[in-house]
Structures are given as C-alpha cells and as structure tokens.
Structure 1
Amino acid sequence: MLATLKEKTMNKYSTFEAIVAHLWKARTRAVFENPDDFSTVLFAVDIRSKLSPPLPHGFSGNAVITAFATAKVSHLVQKPFSFCVEMVKEAVDRVTDDYVKSAIDWLEVSKGIPATCNGNFYISAWRKLPFGELDFGFGKPIHGGP
C-alpha cells in the first residue's frame, strides 16, 4: 500500500510526505463541509540536519519542530494528489535554521505548541520506531502508544 501511494508521487517525494498528503486530503474531504474554509495539517520535522551549528556529537534527545501545510478545502478536494504532496514538501523545506530559531522564540512567548482545532490535526511519524523490539527487562511490549 505504501509503495502504491509513493508511486502516485512518481517517487519524487518521501514516503512520509506521501502518507501525510494522503491523510490530509482524505481527512479534509471527510471533516470539512465549507469549501471556502482552510485545512491545516501539522507534523514533526527532524531538525538534526537543519541546525547551524549542528547538535553536538552523541546528542540523543528529541530534535524535532512542528511544520505545517495549509490550503483551501476546495483546492485539497478538487486538485490532484500531487498538489497536496507538494504542499507538504514545501512545508518540510521551509524548516531551516532560521525557522527553528523563530519557532523556539515563538514557543517561549506563547508558552506552548500550536493547537489543533476546527478539523485541523497533527501527524507524528512512528512508522520506523522499533517499539516491538524494546525490552526494559520485562519482555517485549504488548502495546506502545503516546
């Protein structure tokens, strides 16, 4: 299924970008009634390769920042899948060192992360995390989640 979805992007985009675009388009179609509204998807972007200076060698903490894509509902529903995936890719590409520093300043002032409401939503990519392989001394987990 993931290969089929990625083929729709002509393999020009990452699997994550294709999944986000697919979910965003489908959820927008299901949740929004007014074609003049705007739909937003928020998602985490790994900033390790985007920081200057880079994080110190051996850094093992989280290094993500929230990115987002917004479009008019009618555009998301009517335009081809390529429109949605390009919007997601542009959002990923906007995350630069300056973006990260600006977001940190915004978080300090706002005392929190952007909220999702009015049909907008946040996606977090856990697809590659090895939850099934974790063992803290009690055996393999039965369930993993936020």
Structure 2
Amino acid sequence: MKSFFPLYRSLLMALFVAASLTACKKDNEPAPDVATRVAGTYTFSELTYGGRTVPASQTNLKGNVTVTRQTASTISMALDITSKSDDEPFLVGSVDDIAVTDAGNGDVEFKADSDKIARASGNKLIINGTDDNDVDFTITATK
C-alpha cells in the first residue's frame, strides 16, 4: 500500500503539470482586422449570369483575384480574369481604397464609392459586375 501513494502522487503531479501547459489561450490576443481576414489570392471558380451558374471548368475563363490589405478597413483588389482560348481580358485591372466592413455571420462587404461591389463569405469572394452588353454577372473565386 505504501508504494501506491508515491505513484499516485507522481501521477497527480504529472496531470497538474499537463493541465497547466494546456491552459486556455490568452484573451488579450486581438482578432485579425477585417482587411487582414479577406486578404489573399482567390482563384476563379464559377460564373453566374442570366440566372445560370456555370463552374469555371465549363467556361472559357480563367484567372485570379488578389486582395491586399492597405489599412485595417481598406484593401486593394487586382483582378486578372481572362479567356482561356486567347487570353483576352474579361475582368482585368486593379482598384485601391476599397472599404471593407464586417456584415455579420462572417461575411465582409466590399464598397467602392459607397457602391457594394463584392462580398466575402468564408473562403469565397463574390464580385458583381455588368458586361459590355449590360448583362449582370457574378464572378465567384475561392481562396
């Protein structure tokens, strides 16, 4: 019986040390700002137009959208969506000073000159646009 107590005490001490090393994370770690959350490279994944959604593999489009943090609440966006067949630009260019705000539920709204131009939801970036024939479209890109 005497040999059981030292073993019990050692086991209890080991559990105490393990519990101290795996304590909860510090509450004073700040959450990343909105611009940092959405920054990154997104790859074109689908096109929606005329009520129809088409995966990237079934379109003649390819490319990326790069979102770069400027400040805690502004980003720049570089778009490079081109046609697969001849590399003609479809949605190519860059925009600076886009305001990003938390829209709740993990979504982030992108606004340029107070117009909502895009939304990020999880790892998806959804960009709204209108083509040369006044047809509204949505480009979805995935991080």
TM-score (normalised: structure 1): 0.26
Q: More helix by proportion, 1 or 2?
A: 1
Q: More strand by proportion, 1 or 2?
A: 2
Q: Which structure's relative contact order is higher, taking Cα pairs within 8 Å and 6+ residues apart?
A: 1
Q: Which has the larger radius of gyration?
A: 2
